[in-house]
Amino acid sequence: MHVMPPRKTERILNLTICLLVSGRYLPKSRIREAVEGYHNLSDAAFERTFERDKDELRSLGVPIEVGSFDPLFDDEPGYRIRPSEFSLPPIDLDAEEAAVVGVAARVWKHASMAEATRSAISKLRAAGVEPDASQLASLEPSVQASEPGFEVLWNAVLDRARVSFTYRDGTPRTLEPWGLTSYKGRWYVIGRDVDRQASRMFKLSRMTDLPRRSSRAGSYEVPADLDLRSLARALAPRERTETAVLAIRAGKAPALARRGDPAVSDIKLPAGFGVYAVGFTDLHSAAEEITQYAADVVVLEPAELRELVVRGLTAVAESGTAA
Amino acid sequence: MRRLLSLVPYLREHDGVAMTDAATAFGISVKTLREDLNVLWMCGMPGLTPGDLIDIDMDAVDGEGVIHLSNADYLTRPLRLSADEALALVLALRTLREIAGPGKRNAVDRALKKLEAAAGNVPATDQATVAVTAARDDIQARVNEGLQRGKRLDLTYDVASRAETTRRMVDPLRVFVLEGYGYLEAWCYSAKALRTFRLDRIAAVEVTSVDVARHEVQLKDLSTGWWEALKDAPVVTLELQPWAAWIPEYYPTEAVSPRPGGGLLVSLHVTDPAWLRSLLLRLQGGARVLYPEGAGDSAAEAAQEALDQYAVLLGQPARV
């Protein structure tokens, strides 16, 4: 997070207090008199500084309302902050709940996300919550976001701003990002592809340039029925619809043996092999998985899968000698 | 700025708090906190006469090192959570939930519910998700029980690179999540060293009645991902076919350069030769070892052995 010079911080904090205590809409002229930091500025410099300060406060989430300060003279807009809109509602966490929030403080391994979490927890502390992670010291969840485009996309999702980027296939894309999801430690962005008029998912590590914002904030609506979790599930391994009969050497390939059911085969096997029926999502991924076990797993059926495995083994056997 | 808006209600809530404690609570140095206080006491109600200013007892700050703040009744509550704060915190909690085990999961859910209610006007908390591959509930519960009670675990574990199940006694030290997977970090009595076990590969676990011993070990630094642990391991250079070009997305690679025709040349650190062997087999010829010479031999030999076995068992030709 960027560091403000103390004078600017002072001015913005005084502006906040001024708008917070006034209770009614204050016209700009009154604000200029009330906030010391505006005193020595020319008209133009004041206008500029005031606009920037308002933007700064809004970016922090401070709700500045614009309205008419006087029903009789509505030619100049007034500003105020309603304490009820400004303040964090009461939140009461018991010791166990506060402890898990304490653990959450150290989850993000991404500088600005860690800063956002820290800031959230500071607010909770200021509201009387005492996060104490010490009783859960041995639990250490972490979330990484090493993809360069992560921060731009995260902010675009929050602001509902379009982004443009180039994907690995070389095509330029413009996306209205709805959400981000991490699967197996890699981030994906889901949204509406503007040119293709369809919902799409992109892997951040496959973007070949840094995503750029290409619209103002709030320029589209996220579908109300968006279910990011079920969209994300589309990434997870599909259901196992293929079954293979495998001979597995005792104690080897435990991941396969455990998810299989005992089966029988007519083929005479050497001692120490057991026969299992094992489910797979498709034959090609099954072949990859099985090939890694080399002589510890033998495909008995289907013949098509056996052929894929034998072909894979042949390629590996030859790669060793051809170099 | 964000911090100052939280600091005022915090100091009102904790009257007389020590400088060091307040600095720790906000994750800043005492020096930064002192600078914040200097800014704060220049602020206050419009007019800024002494009676309008936020009052901080600077003698107590510089003397006893404690903070008394008053005359800031308009900042009794912190600013509500912004969308990025709420979402960052919610995601962190959801990630914790995945390894919290059935016991603590309930507390996480309650905290999430209260936070989402307090975030109020932030509709964004469903706009990001993190999936974590962890253990079954019963296994997770026993691992966490061992950790919390400080008891040795009897672990049945699938070693993926060797494709074998092993049984060993371990002293649990920590459960962590890194890059989408949950792990148990423990002192392993078989290896007589610190070992990391992927939670989803723990086949069974029992909590023993033996107390864990003390171990002088350095736990893994999670901020650097797997890269730091790998950086001293030998480098292997592979030539990848276009259909195996996903490798650098999944494994930390040292150098990547494209080859004509869509292939890639990648260098990666390999700690365990058995891991490389299983990767080469899995890629079914999609990767060829260029360097060091002979690093691919064991994969080729294993493949040949498997082919010979097919020939014997099924009367298949050894080569297709």
User: Is A40 in the same domain as A66?
Assistant: yes
Q: What is the pLDDT of residues B52-92, one digit of tens each?
A: 889 999 999 999 999 999 888 888 899 999 888 999 999 99
Residues contacting B270, CB < 8 A, separation 6+? B233, B234, B235, B236, B276, B295
Residue B123 has pLDDT above 60, yes or no: no
Q: Per the domain annotation, does A141 fall within a domain? A: no
- Cα angle vertex B206, ends B200, B210, to 5°? 130
CA of residue B149 relative to chain centroid, distance: 23
Q: Per the domain annotation, does A131 fall within a domain? A: yes
Pairwise pLDDT comparison (A72 vs B126), residue with the higher score: B126
pLDDT of residue B317: 54
Query: Using CB atoms, which residue from A96, A140, A316 is nearest to B300?
Result: A316
Q: Among A1-15, A95-109, B74-88, B270-284, where is mean pLDDT lowest?
A: A1-15
Count Cα atoms within 13 angstroms, Cβ side, for B40: 29
Could you give the percent of chain B with pLDDT greater than 90?
A: 56
User: Is A310 in the same domain as A253?
Assistant: yes
Q: What is the pLDDT of residues A272-319, one digit of tens each?
A: 999 999 998 888 889 999 999 999 999 998 999 999 999 999 999 988
The dihedral built from the CA positions of residue A92, A95, A100 and A102, taken in this order, carries a sign that is positive
Final residue belonging to a domain, choices A211, A233, A255: A233
Subunit contact A311:B304, Cβ cutoff 8 A: no
Average pLDDT rounded to a whole number, residues B205-221: 92
pLDDT of residue A242: 84
Subunit contact A316:B124, Cβ cutoff 8 A: no
Q: What is the pLDDT of residues A190-200, one digit of tens each?
A: 999 999 998 88
For residue A71, give the CATH number of its domain: 1.10.10
Closest Cα in chain A to B300: A317
Closest Cα in chain B to A39: B47
What is the domain range of residue A103? 95-136
User: Is A201 in the same domain as A158?
Assistant: yes
Torsion angle, alpha carbons of B90, A185, B199, A248, to 10: 150
Q: Per the domain annotation, does A143 fall within a domain? A: no
User: Where in chain B are the domains?
Assistant: 2-75, 83-126, 137-224, 227-314
Which CATH code is given to the segment(s) B227-314?
3.30.70
pLDDT of residue A161: 96
Residue A13 has pLDDT above 70, yes or no: yes
Residue A2 has pLDDT above 70, yes or no: no
Hey, is B91 helix, strand or coil? helix
Subunit contact A17:B75, Cβ cutoff 8 A: yes
Subunit contact A107:B96, Cβ cutoff 8 A: yes
User: Is A227 in the same domain as A246?
Assistant: no
pLDDT of residue A281: 83
Q: Domain count for chain A, please give it.
A: 4
pLDDT of residue A61: 87
Final residue belonging to a domain, choices A180, A213, A233: A233
User: Is A28 in the same domain as A82?
Assistant: yes
Chain A residues inside the 8 Å CB shell of B7: 122, 126
Q: What is the pLDDT of residues A202-245, one digit of tens each?
A: 999 889 899 999 999 999 998 877 788 777 666 555 667 789 99
Final residue belonging to a domain, choices A206, A233, A260: A233
Q: With bands split at pLDDT 50, 70 and 90, how would you rate the model's confidence at B318?
A: very low
Pairwise pLDDT comparison (B165 vs B20), residue with the higher score: B20
Q: Per the domain annotation, does A224 fall within a domain? A: yes
Q: Per the domain annotation, does A144 fall within a domain? A: no
Q: Per the domain annotation, does A38 fall within a domain? A: yes
Residue B320 has pLDDT above 50, yes or no: no
Q: Per the domain annotation, does A145 fall within a domain? A: no
Subunit contact A316:B284, Cβ cutoff 8 A: yes
Burial of B194 (0-12, 13-18, 19+ CB in 10 A): middle
Q: In chain B, positions 100-129, which contact chain A (CB-CB < 8 Å)? A: 100, 104, 107-108, 110-111, 114-115, 117-118, 120, 124, 126-129
- Given the candidates 2.30.29, 2.30.30, 1.25.40, 2.60.40, the CATH classification of the domain at B137-224 is 2.30.30
- What is the value of pTM for the model shown? 0.81
